[in-house]
């Protein structure tokens, strides 16, 4: 092979730069050189095609380098139009923020009064505003926020159960997506897991028998992503709290999703409300900010002041605390609940969307695609809410199904995924499916334009 035919890296970078300028997407020199080096290396290892001349090879390498630059420039977090219908999609960042929360993030992004009391001109607590909101919304004595609910449960156990035993029902030793397993979190919190009952049945007497001098807490885990059905029995929070308090122990509840206001969908009525679980006597309650609450990723702890104060003094709390952007988004989201404006929270609005509106939006999406080289149909299905919340709730889904003219539904989805904005649908048999529950009207129109272009 005649390696002397290979183009020089700086020539390839120059040509690729010119291509990108012509395409209206200029790229910095350093990235061009890097991409050109990779492109030339690629030619060397792939071998020089027979009959190729110097000009061919330069053109090929330049095109390859330009493509690499474009991909590199788009490798940050990008906006995705979610046409999966899964409202709390963990891979897509779970709950989308409300406009008010977005504005709050923008305002806090510069300097802000994170730890400053503006009235007094003195240092203030970064949790004071949030505590006031959560007190008003849930009746809790105190509140803390950490990075996520996994961190919240870990902090609670590390503070209240380290060196002792945490009593948990065998029916609640769960794993929640992405490696959160109750037995392992209990161990990380420095506590010994004391399992009681059986997978399907645990009674108050089982807990009572397990309590001894080493017992540090009772831990109740809400089944958020599974249900045990059939011949089952578990102990209601109020009775568990009574037992814990008789022995001077705290009851910690991992609510997982937990909600301030259950979404108005059949099956969600039983979703525990935070205020109600507190009234039933739970001492410490942990839940996620980005599940049914509809806010940013965060782990929220509410409950008795004497326990939360201890958690706030734990060095682990400092390591798990959240930044000003999260606090801003969370405060603004909670303020919407307080002000009776929860419908402005996108996750709640999507879960509550009336079926007629979904049907109309799906119809409009299909109409916007008419004339495309594809077979289009409108289907009603059932879709999960997602995000490890509401495992038994299936929502009616209105879906536009597309069978592209070339029969390659996977190819269509791939082009949409890598486009700008990215559009995420799903495949079913030989059709690409787009569920409109998770698209606003404007987004559905944007998705239509992207799908038209991808089909063309």
Ligand X SMILES: *Cc1c(COP(=O)(O)O)cnc(C)c1O
Binding site for ligand X (CB under 6 A): 148-150, 176, 180, 221-222, 224, 254, 256-257, 288, 299, 388
Residue nearest to ligand X (CB): 256
Contact 288, 254 (CB under 8 A): no
Which is closer to ligand X, CB of 159 or CB of 257? 257
Contact 285, 278 (CB under 8 A): yes
Which is closer to ligand X, CB of 202 or CB of 401? 202
Contact 249, 261 (CB under 8 A): no
The CA distance from 175 to 287, in Å, is 15
The DSSP symbol for 244 reads H
CB of 97 to ligand X, least distance (A): 15
- Residue 303 φ/ψ region, left for φ over 0, alpha for ψ in the -120 to 50 degree band, beta for the rest: left
State the pairing for strand pair 251-256/284-288.
parallel
The CA distance from 27 to 16, in Å, is 9
CB of 300 to ligand X, least distance (A): 9
Which is closer to ligand X, CB of 222 or CB of 437? 222
The CA distance from 47 to 3, in Å, is 9
Which is closer to ligand X, CB of 82 or CB of 224? 224
CB of 241 to ligand X, least distance (A): 18
CB of 51 to ligand X, least distance (A): 57
CB of 254 to ligand X, least distance (A): 5
CB of 315 to ligand X, least distance (A): 20
Which is closer to ligand X, CB of 175 or CB of 246? 175
Which is closer to ligand X, CB of 190 or CB of 391? 391
In the numeric block, the tokens 């159960």 are attached to 161
Omega within 30 of 0 (cis) for the link into 331: no
- Residue 81 φ/ψ region, left for φ over 0, alpha for ψ in the -120 to 50 degree band, beta for the rest: beta
Q: List the 284-288 sheet strands across, edge first.
A: 142-146, 299-303, 284-288, 251-256, 215-221, 165-169, 192-196
Which is closer to ligand X, CB of 25 or CB of 91? 91
Residue 383, strand partner residues: 395
CB of 383 to ligand X, least distance (A): 19
């Amino acid at each position: 092979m005649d390696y002397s035919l290979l183009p020089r890296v700086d020539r390839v970078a120059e040509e690729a730069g010119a291509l990108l300028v012509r395409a209206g997407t200029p790229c910095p020199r350093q990235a061009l050189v890097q991409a050109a080096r990779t492109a030339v290396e690629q030619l060397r290892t792939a071998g020089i095609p027979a009959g190729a001349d110097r000009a061919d090879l330069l053109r090929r390498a330049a095109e390859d380098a330009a493509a690499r630059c474009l991909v590199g420039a788009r490798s940050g977090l990008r906006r995705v139009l979610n046409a999966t219908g899964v409202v709390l999609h963990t891979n897509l960042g779970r709950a989308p923020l409300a406009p008010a929360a977005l504005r709050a993030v923008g305002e806090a992004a510069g300097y802000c009064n994170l730890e400053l009391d503006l009235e007094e001109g003195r240092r203030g607590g970064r949790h004071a505003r949030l505590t006031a909101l959560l007190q008003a919304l849930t009746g809790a004595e105190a509140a803390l926020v950490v990075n996520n609910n996994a961190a919240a449960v870990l902090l609670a156990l590390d503070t209240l159960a380290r060196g002792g035993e945490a009593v948990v029902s065998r029916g609640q030793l769960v794993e929640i997506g992405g490696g959160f397993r109750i037995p392992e979190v209990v161990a990380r919190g420095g506590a010994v897991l004391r399992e009681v009952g059986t997978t399907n049945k645990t009674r108050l007497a089982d807990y009572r028998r397990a309590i001894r001098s080493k017992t540090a807490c009772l831990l109740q885990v809400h089944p958020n992503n599974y249900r045990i059905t059939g011949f089952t029995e578990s102990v209601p929070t109020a009775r568990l709290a009574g037992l814990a308090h008789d022995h001077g122990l705290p009851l910690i509840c991992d609510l997982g999703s937990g909600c301030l206001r259950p979404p108005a969908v059949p099956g969600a009525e039983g979703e525990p409300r935070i205020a109600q679980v507190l009234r039933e006597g739970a001492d410490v309650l942990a839940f996620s900010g980005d599940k049914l609450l509809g806010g940013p990723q965060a782990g929220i702890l509410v409950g008795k002041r004497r326990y939360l104060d201890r958690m706030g003094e734990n060095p682990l709390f400092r390591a798990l605390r959240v930044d000003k952007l999260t606090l801003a988004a969370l405060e603004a989201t909670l303020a919407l609940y307080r002000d009776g404006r929860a419908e402005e929270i996108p996750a709640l609005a999507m879960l509550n969307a009336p079926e007629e509106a979904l049907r109309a939006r799906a119809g409009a999406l299909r109409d916007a695609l008419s004339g495309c080289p594809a077979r289009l149909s409108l289907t009603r299905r059932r879709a999960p809410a997602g995000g490890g919340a509401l495992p038994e709730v299936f929502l009616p889904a209105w879906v536009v199904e597309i069978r592209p003219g070339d029969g390659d539904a996977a190819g269509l989805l791939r082009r949409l995924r890598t486009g700008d904005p990215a559009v995420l649908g799903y495949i079913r048999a030989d059709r690409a499916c787009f569920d409109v529950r998770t698209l606003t009207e404007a987004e559905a129109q944007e998705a239509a334009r992207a799908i038209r272009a991808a089909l063309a």
